[in-house]
Amino acid sequence: MDTSSRISSCYKTVAVWIERLLALVILGGVLVFGLSSTQTMAAMDWRLTETFYELIYRVLLLVIGIELVRTLVTHELRAILELLAFVVARKMLKPDLVVQDVLLSVLAFVALLAANRFLLSAPLPPGSQEPGNTT
């Protein structure tokens, strides 16, 4: 093995370990945020609709953190698409959205569905039909 390939391999190994370390730090932050959110949510008035929105907002933030950890560790396209879907969903739950934000969020979901369909679905064998298509 020549020197340049050893250096390249060393850089890749260091990058992987830095990503894993960052994933652990983010996971720790998610756990701390989850515990503090539990305390905060327990003290809130559950008769108010805003409390429920706050619960959903915090849960989606926790899920985004976990998905980010998964993305850093696995480097899978599906994990990235799922992370982006949760980010868009969290954005859409804000009460002060304007029409352009809703339109852009819907377009983002359409783009994510298209990416999932065309980039991640396995190609069908020749002569087979799509699922659900009986004609």
Residue 14 lies in a domain: yes
Residue 127 lies in a domain: no
pTM given for the model: 0.75
Instruction: Give residue-wise pLDDT tens across range 70-120.
Output: 999 998 888 888 898 888 888 888 778 888 888 888 899 899 888 888 887
Round the average pLDDT of the chain to a whole number and report it: 86
As for how many domains the chain has, the answer is 1
Q: Taking a C-beta distance cutoff of 8 angstroms, is the pair 51, 45 a contact?
A: yes
Please list, residue by residue across 123-133, b when 16 or more beta carbons sit within 10 angstroms of its beta carbon and e when fewer do: eeeeeeeeeee
Residue 130 lies in a domain: no
Say what percent of the chain tops pLDDT 90. Answer: 39
